[in-house]
């Protein structure tokens, strides 16, 4: 089995405490970040092997041996590198990223990365449509606070930043506005009083309702929901330690990106998830693609200068995770990203079978 850098990165992000448990390594100490074990490289009477959850590494301060989770499996279980990777894949049910699809007849054509660009002939909708629609009267906005997702002040702040609108029949309008402040589209969605989707009321689009009122030559070119925040973002205080702890200790690094590296982008499927988590984790700019099949490589082009982490929904077969990994891999092939795109295995690793069968997303996991 071939392991490229993206797959190796996924394996190295597996929680080291869990890997130790699978190997039968006893950990000592009550600290939440660092625990100790008896070093398996030498005759160790006192636990001198330090296992660090935050850095996801181990290090013996007597003999100097150490490494990541792959090295841990290699040395503790006397396996080759590939055997250690295979073991991790099997034990943690890791869904590997498939090799990029082939172009041409016999082998993949090597293509130079191209610079990102705005889709051709983007004719934006009139920005006054957004202004006229702004409202907290949608069923979505009315249900967020009673359902316990946000406080009243958080809702108002999030609704203002994401420019949430309301349709005449109570649907919430999620406007797709790009980083040049051009209005690409408006997606109208319907929610129940418990803030879950009203699946009997199908989503629609503003441009399908406008008919003859559309700008001349208008064509539907979707962009990521929330993309406009990149040129207007003003992070605020109010981080919730409860939610940060749960996110950081569930399969991703506790510090996904260095603070000095600039803005941090998190991409999810649901607009609802982006809106809610923007208040719980304001250190990230939360964007949404709006659907499993809507996640396409070209949507990531405006993010080439940012550090991006992607949170797919989960499902029993891992198809969503695998598909989004392929999209990220293709985007990195096409565009000159300054930093590698990261697809978080959080839900694939930590969601229960019941949660996977229900195809939960990040909000569902955090609000258990």
Q: What digits encode the pLDDT tens for the residues 147-190?
A: 999 999 999 999 999 999 999 999 999 999 998 899 999 999 99
| CB atoms closer than 10 angstroms to residue 314 | 29
Match 């603070």 to its residue by tokens: 259
Residues 82 and 221 in one domain: no
Domain boundary (67, 92, 117) is at 92
In a domain, 165, yes or no: yes
Query: What is the average per-residue pLDDT within 312-328?
Result: 93
- Are 292 and 351 found together in one domain? yes
pTM of the predicted model, to two decimals? 0.66
Q: How many domains does the chain have?
A: 2
Same domain, 137 and 75: no
Position 123 in a domain: no
Tokens of 337: 């990203």
Q: Within this chain, do residues 280 and 132 fall inside the same structural domain, yes or no? A: yes
How far CA 135 is from CA of 100, 128, 183, 225, 363, in Å, comes to: 44, 14, 17, 17, 23
Give the structural domain span for 344.
Answer: 128-366
Task: Sort 266 into a burial class: Cβ within 10 Å, 0-12 / 13-18 / 19+.
Answer: buried
Looking up residue 43, the CATH number of its domain turns out to be 3.90.580.10
Nearest CA to 44 out of 31, 70, 25 is that of: 25
What percentage of residues in the chain have a pLDDT greater than 90? 58
Q: Are residues 160 and 209 both part of a single domain?
A: yes
For residue 105, is it within any domain? no
Domain boundary among 92, 120, 138: 92
- State the Cα torsion 4-10-13-19 to the nearest 10°: -90
Question: Could you tell me if 145 and 278 lie in one domain?
Answer: yes
Q: Is residue 146 part of a domain?
A: yes
| pLDDT tens-digit map of 183-231 | 999 999 999 999 999 988 999 999 989 877 888 788 889 999 999 999 8
Q: For residues 80 and 12, state if they share a domain.
A: yes
**Which pLDDT does position 253 carry in this prediction?**
37
Residue 115 covered by a domain:
no
Tell me the mean pLDDT in the region 265-293. 95
Same domain, residue pair 20 and 132: no
Is residue 236 a part of any domain in this protein? yes
Q: Is residue 265 part of a domain?
A: yes
Q: What is the pLDDT of residues 34-43, one digit of tens each?
A: 999 999 998 8
Same domain, 218 and 334: yes
87 with 166, same domain?
A: no
What pLDDT is stored for residue 263 in this prediction?
Answer: 66
Exposure string over 46-72, b if 16+ CB within 10 A, otherwise e: ebbbbbbbeebbbbbeeeebbebbbbb
The reply to whether 82 and 137 lie within a common domain is: no
**81 and 139: one domain?**
no
Let me know if residue 103 belongs to a domain: no
């Amino acid at each position: 089995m071939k392991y490229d850098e993206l797959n190796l990165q996924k394996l190295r992000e597996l929680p080291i405490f869990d890997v130790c448990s699978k190997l039968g390594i006893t950990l000592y100490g009550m600290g939440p970040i660092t625990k100790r074990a008896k070093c398996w490289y030498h005759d160790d009477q006192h636990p001198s092997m330090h296992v660090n959850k935050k850095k996801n590494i181990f290090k013996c301060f007597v003999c100097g041996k150490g490494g990541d989770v792959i090295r841990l499996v290699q040395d503790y279980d006397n396996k080759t590198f590939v055997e250690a990777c295979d073991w991790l894949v099997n034990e943690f049910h890791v869904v590997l990223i498939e090799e990029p699809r082939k172009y041409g007849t016999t082998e993949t054509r090597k293509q130079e990365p191209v610079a990102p660009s705005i889709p051709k002939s983007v004719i934006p909708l009139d920005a006054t449509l957004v202004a006229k629609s702004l409202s907290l009267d949608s069923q979505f906005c009315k249900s967020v606070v009673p359902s316990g997702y946000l406080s009243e002040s958080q809702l108002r702040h999030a609704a203002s930043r994401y420019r949430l609108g309301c349709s005449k029949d109570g649907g919430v309008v999620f406007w797709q506005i790009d980083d040049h402040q051009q209005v690409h589209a408006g997606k109208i969605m319907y929610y129940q009083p418990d803030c879950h989707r009203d699946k009997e009321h199908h989503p629609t689009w503003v441009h399908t309702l406008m008919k003859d009122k559309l700008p001349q030559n208008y064509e539907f070119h979707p962009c990521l929901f929330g993309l406009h925040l990149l040129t207007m973002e003003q992070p605020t205080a109010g981080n919730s330690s409860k939610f940060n702890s749960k996110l950081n200790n569930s399969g991703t690094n506790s510090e996904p990106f260095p603070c000095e590296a600039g803005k941090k982008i998190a991409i999810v499927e649901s607009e609802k998830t982006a809106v809610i988590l923007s208040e719980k984790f304001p250190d990230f700019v939360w964007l949404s693609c709006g659907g499993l099949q809507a996640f396409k490589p070209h949507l990531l082009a405006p993010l080439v200068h940012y550090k991006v982490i992607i949170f797919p929904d989960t499902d029993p077969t891992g198809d969503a995770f695998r598909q989004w990994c392929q999209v990220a891999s293709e985007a990195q092939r096409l565009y000159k990203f300054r930093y590698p795109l990261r697809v978080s295995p959080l839900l694939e690793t930590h969601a229960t079978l019941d949660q996977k069968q229900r195809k939960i997303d990040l909000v569902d996991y955090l609000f258990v």
